[in-house]
Chains A and B, each alone.
Chain A
Amino acid sequence: MISRADVDHVARLARLTLSDAEAERMREQLAAILAYINKLRELDVEGVEPTSHAVPLVNVFREDEVQPSLPREAMIANAPEPAGELFRVPRIIED
Chain B
Amino acid sequence: MTTDLTRLTMHALAAAYRAGEATPSQATEAYLARIAALDTRVGGYLTVTAEAARAAARAADARLAARRPLGPLDGVPLALKDVFCTRGVTTTCGSRILEGFVPPYDATVAERLAAAGAVMLGKTNMDEFAMGSSTEHSAFKPTRNPWDLSRVPGGSSGGSAAAVAGDLAAAALGTDTGGSIRQPAAFCGTVGLKPTYGRVSRYGLIAFASSLDHPGPITKDVRDTALLLGAIAGHDPRDATSVPEPVPDYVAALDGSVAGLRLGVPREYFTEGLDPEIARAVREALEVLRGLGATTTEISLPTTDYGLAVYYIIAPAEASSNLARYDGVKYGLRVPGRDLIDMSSATRAAGFGAEVKRRIMLGTYVLSAGYYDAYYGRAQKVRTLVKRDFEQAFAAVDLIVAPTTPGVAFKHGEKEDPLAMYLNDVFTVPVDLAGIPAISVRGGFSATGLPIGLQLIAPAFEEARLLRAAHAYEQATPWLERRPELS
Contact = CB atoms under 8 A, between A and B. Distances in A.
Chain A–chain B contact at Cβ < 8 A: yes
Interface of A: 2, 6-7, 9-11, 13-18, 26, 29-30, 32-34, 36-41, 43, 45, 48-55, 57, 60, 62, 70, 74-75, 77-81, 87, 89-93, 95
B435 A54 contact: yes
Nearest to B198: A55
B297 interface: no
Contact of A74 (B101, B104, B305, B337): B104
21 contacts: A14-B320, A14-B324, A17-B345, A17-B348, A26-B358, A32-B418, A34-B362, A36-B419, A38-B309, A39-B305, A40-B309, A40-B310, A43-B303, A43-B385, A50-B377, A51-B383, A52-B211, A54-B434, A78-B101, A87-B329, A90-B343
B327 A15 contact: yes
Contacts of B259: none
Majority SS at the chain B contact face: helix
B40 interface: no
Given A41-B378, A52-B380, 4 more contacts: A14-B360, A36-B309, A78-B101, A87-B330
Interface size class of B (residues with CB under 8 A): 35 or more
Given A15-B327, A30-B362, A52-B211, A40 B337 contact: no
Contact of A29 (B327, B333, B358): B358
Given A39-B309, A78-B101, A53 B329 contact: no
A83 to B, nearest CB: 12
A82 B219 CA distance: 42
A21 B365 CA distance: 19
Interface of B: 101-102, 104-105, 196-198, 211, 237, 240-241, 243, 303, 305-306, 308-310, 312-313, 320, 324, 327-334, 336-346, 348-349, 352, 357-358, 360-362, 364-365, 368, 375, 377-385, 387, 418-419, 422, 433-436, 460
Contacts of B422: 33
Contacts of B337: 90
A48 B327 CA distance: 37
A16 B354 CA distance: 11
A92 B312 CA distance: 34
B382 A80 contact: no
B340 A54 contact: no
Given A36-B419, A55-B197, A90-B340, A7 B361 contact: yes
